Structure 1
Amino acid sequence: MILKGERQTDFAYHAVYRYMINLISEVGTDARVKLPSLRQLSRRLNVSISTVQYAYSLLEKEGRIYSVAKSGYYAWPVPTPSAGCPGGDLLERLYAGTRRPGMLVLSVDEPALLVSLDTPLLQLERVLVRQYPRHLQPWSQPCGVWELRAALAARYTSSPTRCWQADDVYIGADLRGVLEILIEVLDLKGAAIVVESPCDWSILRLLQEAGVGVIEWPGNTHGNLDLAAFEQVLLTESVRLVMLSSRVSLPSGSIMSSRERLQVARLLEQHGCWLLENDTYGELGFEPPEAALRDLVNPERLMVFSSFEKVLGPEAPYGYLLSRHLSAKLQRQFLLREFRLSSIRQRALAQLYQSGRVDLHVQQLRRLLSEQAAVMSRRIDEHLGEWANYRMPVAGATFWLVSREAVDMRQVFQYMLGRRVVIAPGELFSVSGLYQQNLRLSHTFDGQHNLDLALNELAQALKQAQIA
């Protein structure tokens, strides 16, 4: 299979994606199967490594494959009729369900499904290809191209004392790869870190796989931050760092109040703790954002990570990190990872930021998310009002529900799979068994399914799964 004749990177990327779909489908085994490395597939298909990386990133996001640090990529077993059985790892069963044809997937968190910048990004990329012929493109930018790093540094600068430079920004192939480097550089294996809870399952799994000691900081019974519990942890545990959201806490869809942010900043300073800020959803509040947590804490004990994909769309799969410290170690690890990222696509992203196009897009996305959440709220009230409670989200693309009665949520999950609907049980968002009565539902999905029927089925599942 030769793809070199394709004129544009995005066309080759889709061809590689289709090739990998067929390759995975041919596996025909329940055991995990290692896939070709980026370099091997690049040579086999005669395309760039960055093109292969795009395809692999999409496959990983869809739950078809997964990566293992220092080992490579593996294919999840292809779902068979027995894949619907209630045994096995819950996350694997969720991923298997999303890959079955004809499923209504309400478990995802993809805000950019409503509107993305994929088309403008690819159009701009085509223009830049003519300005920067392949032979003039630098063969290696281990931390990302300067233009995009400078654009991000400017976007995160808020004052003369809270400023960033391009050299403080590190760009990787995806968010997971960036976080793996950070865990290595900070030597977090065996260390204790405080994590805001509930937390994204991909981050929790990554921390567990790396041997990091996760201390969960859940909200109190009213859904607000339990600052007394947070202070007690800082007093009694040897906490290496604290990972908190910049503004938006997901999957709950809540935003930390100004008073809470100030109190958290005070406690971090009082105990000399480093903050690792998760800004993945920082721009997804329905209202104009207030000051981020990073603008209140000591800038000398601060690192920030995020990704482009949640806001801009799947054609921008990169993750990035901002850090003023450990530059030599970070540069070395990014160099060792050999992220062969498309310099053209990074320059296209930089121009979208510099032109103000991203700001206009974010405003539109916030409005659409707010409108979609209002529609979803009415449908939940109509179909699930008797069976589940929720707080209206003020950010993001999901609802965080809790059953009014004690239920076996795994039974609910399995029942819905049988009805060709995938939900996300709350226990996936904890490492210590929290949120057994919760579930996450997306309000961004295609209109090819009957949502009212699915919510009626969910109400029936919650009724049947009650624990006597």
Structure 2
Amino acid sequence: MTLSTDTADKTRPNYTYQAVYRYLLDWIGALPPDVEHRLPSLRDLARRLNVSVSSTKCAYALLEDEGRVQARPKLGYFTRVSRASPHPEPLPNLLDRVFASARQPGMLALGSDAPAMLLSLEQPLLMLERELTRQYPRSQVPLYQPFGEQELRSVLAERYTRSAHDYWQAEHAFIGSDLRSLLELALRALNLEGQVALVESPCSWAVLRQLQAARMKVIEIPLQDEGRFDLAQFQQVLQDEPVRLAVLSSAVSAPHGTAMPAQDKQQVCRWLAEQGIWLFENDSYGAFGFDDAVARYRDFADPDRLLIFSTFDKLIGSEAPYGYLLCRQSTEAFQRLFLERAFRLSPIRQKAIAKLYRSGRLDSHLLRLRATLAERIQHMKDLLQRHGQGCLRVVEPQGGATLWLEATRPVDMRRVFERLLAQRIVIAPGEIFSLQGRWRSCLRLSCTVDWSQDIALALQGLVKAIQDETYTP
């Protein structure tokens, strides 16, 4: 199978990697699941399908995120062996169905979460990359830099530095191909695999899946409607369980969309510091709060037990799929693991991202994007009020690109999801944001949908599916 030049031209730059992803998905699906198989290298696959290496890299990154393949340093990509389990877990099966369905042609994905879909910086990024390619001949650019391009690492250190007493250096920043790989290396570098982790709930499915892959016991602390923990419950868990790691959202929680008060974050950080617990601050949505003054956990955290992680694609778009982390401790362990992992990321692409930051273009873009997100969120709330028929309650968001909804009467959103698939509508049931079966009557609703479609009609279909499930005896 090859992707014709005509097809590639029509889909480039946004959709070529999706075609590669579907090709690999079909191929993997035809292989025996109980035996490990080696997959083509990035370059071999790019040559076979007549696409760019970056497109094959993005496709493999998606498959890694979904847990379908794994990368091994200097060996390549391999399928994951599927073994029968007497107690199958609901999360992977439902999660796989949600994402596989959302990527099928003609589907309306009401549950996606990609802020840059509304307003991306992909074209400026590619233009900068072309300019830099002329400025830096290939012979003068390293084939790869294992910790990330130095200029981009310096930019990240500068952006997270707040004062002469609270600062970061480029050596503290590491850049990888995707968020999943970064979390995997971070847990290994800090000897946290197999330990006890505490997370906010609902929690990012990518974080949950990686903690599962690291064989960690995950304790979920539910967020209340106003975005706060039950602090007494939080403290009790720390007293009863040998927690070594807490993964918490920096500003706006995802997918809940709420922001915890500063005093609560300060108390949480005080308890974590007292017990020497690592804080992994998820800053993927830190830039999308509607209030710039909202506190971050890093404002109060022990700097020697703090790791910040995030991605570029939420703000820039799919042409910037890289993830990054900052950590002041165990830099030698991080360097060793990154050398072994041998990420091969385009130095020129990273330089272009750094230039977007330094020029101020990214900051002005962020202001426009946040305004657009706030407008679309309000529009979606208006549509829900008009067509919801009292079936759904909205948790008031304080930022982000989604709405967290709860059915006003008990309903299994998994069954609602199945009903809507027949109408080519894909929702994100709340169940995929928990490992403990929470949030079955909830769902995440995206405000970065394809607004050229009849969203009001799709919401009416959602409401009808909820009503049909609610009243089915």
Structure 1 residues not aligned, in runs of 5+: 76-85
Quick one: distance in 2 between partners of 1:12 and 1:420?
25
Q: Which of 356, 359, 362 pairs up with 2:363?
A: 359
Please report how far the alpha carbon of residue 37 of structure 1 lies from its aligned counterpart in structure 2 after TM superposition.
3.1
When residues 351 and 448 of structure 1 are mapped into structure 2, their CA distance, relative to the original with a 3 A threshold, is same
- Report runs of 4+ in structure 1 exceeding 4 Å deviation: 10-28, 30-34, 42-51, 58-61
Asked whether the equivalents of residues 13 and 55 of structure 1 are also in contact (C-alpha less than 8 Å), the reply is no
Alignment partners' CA distance in 2, 1:112 and 1:132: 28
Residue 194 of structure 1 pairs with residue 198 of structure 2: yes
Structure-1 separation of matches of 2:114 and 2:454: 19
Deviations 1:81-138 (A, max 9, x none): xxxxx99921122123213321110111111111011011000000000011111111
Question: What letter corresponds to residue 310 of structure 1 in structure 2?
Answer: K
Q: 1:315 to 1:256 in 2, by over 3 A?
A: same
Q: Is the 8 A contact 2:255 2:404 kept in 1?
A: yes
| Counterpart pick for 2:377 among 373, 381, 400 | 373
Amino acid at match of 2:267: Q
Aligned residue runs from structure 1 range 431-450, under 5 A: 431-450=435-454
Question: What does the per-residue CA deviation read over 1:153-198, in whole Å, with 9 as the maximum and x for residues that have no partner?
Answer: 0000001111000000000011111111112212323200111111
In the other structure, the counterpart of 1:427 is: 431
Structure 1 position 402 matched with structure 2 position 406: yes
Is residue 287–residue 366 contact of structure 1 (8 Å, CA) maintained in 2? no
Question: Structure 1, residues 276-326: CA drift from partner, whole Å, max 9, x if none?
Answer: 111010001123243321021121221111111111111110001101111
Aligned mates of 1:154, 1:121 — CA distance in 2: 20
Q: 1:276 to 1:168 in 2, by over 3 A?
A: same
Residue in structure 2 matched with residue 388 of structure 1 by the alignment: 392
Q: Is the deviation greater in 26-35 or in 208-217?
A: 26-35
Where does structure 2 lack aligned partners over 5 or more consecutive residues?
Answer: 81-89
Question: Would the alpha carbon gap of residues 155 and 341 (structure 1) be closer, same or farther in structure 2, given more than 3 Å must change?
Answer: same
- Give distance in 2, aligned partners of 1:109 and 1:90: 17
Q: Closer, same or farther in 2 for the Cα pair 1:435/1:20, shift >3 Å?
A: closer
Alignment-derived partner of residue 77 in structure 2: 72
Report the Cα distance in structure 1 between the residues aligned to 2:433 and 2:13, rounded to whole angstroms: 36
- In structure 1, the residue matched to 2:349 is 345
TM-score computed with the length of structure 2 as normaliser: 0.88
Query: In 2 relative to 1, CA 172–29 (structure 1 residues): closer, same or farther, beyond 3 Å?
Result: same
Match of 2:100 among 96, 100, 103: 96
- Name the aligned partner's letter for residue 354 of structure 1: R
- Match among 448, 469, 472 for residue 465 of structure 1: 469
Residues 12-161 of structure 1 aligned to structure 2 (within 5 Å): 18=19, 21-22=22-23, 24=25, 29=30, 35-38=39-42, 40-41=44-45, 52-57=56-61, 66-68=68-70, 70=72, 72=77, 74=79, 89-161=93-165
Query: Structure 2 vs 1, CA of residues 274 and 189 (structure 1 numbering), >3 Å: closer, same or farther?
Result: closer
Trace 1:242-321 onto structure 2 (pairs within 5 A). 242-321=246-325
- Give the Cα–Cα distance (whole angstroms) in 1 for the partners of residues 213 and 28 of structure 2: 25
Quick one: distance in 1 between partners of 2:32 and 2:367?
45
Say which SS state the counterpart of residue 165 (structure 2) adopts: coil
SS in 2 for 1:322: strand
Helix, strand or coil: the match of 2:144?
A: coil
Any idea what SS the aligned residue of 1:232 has?
Answer: helix
Query: Who is 2:336 aligned against?
Result: 332
- Superposed displacement of residue 11, structure 1: 6.5
Rate the CA distance shift 1:225–1:335 in 2: closer, same or farther, 3 A: same
- SS of 2:291's partner is coil
Partner Cα separation in structure 1 for residue 214 and residue 247 of structure 2? 16
How far off is 1:224 after superposition? 2.4
Mapped partners of 2:3, 2:120: distance in 1: 30
Q: Deviations over 1:45-92 (max 9, x none)?
A: 79885563245346777x7x84335473659xxxxxxxxxx9992112
Structure 1 residues 34 and 135, CA gap change in structure 2 (3 angstroms): same
Provide closer, same or farther for how the CA distance between residues 220 and 425 of structure 1 changes in structure 2, counting only shifts above 3 A. same
Query: Which SS does the other structure have where 2:315 is aligned?
Result: helix
SS at match of 1:309: coil
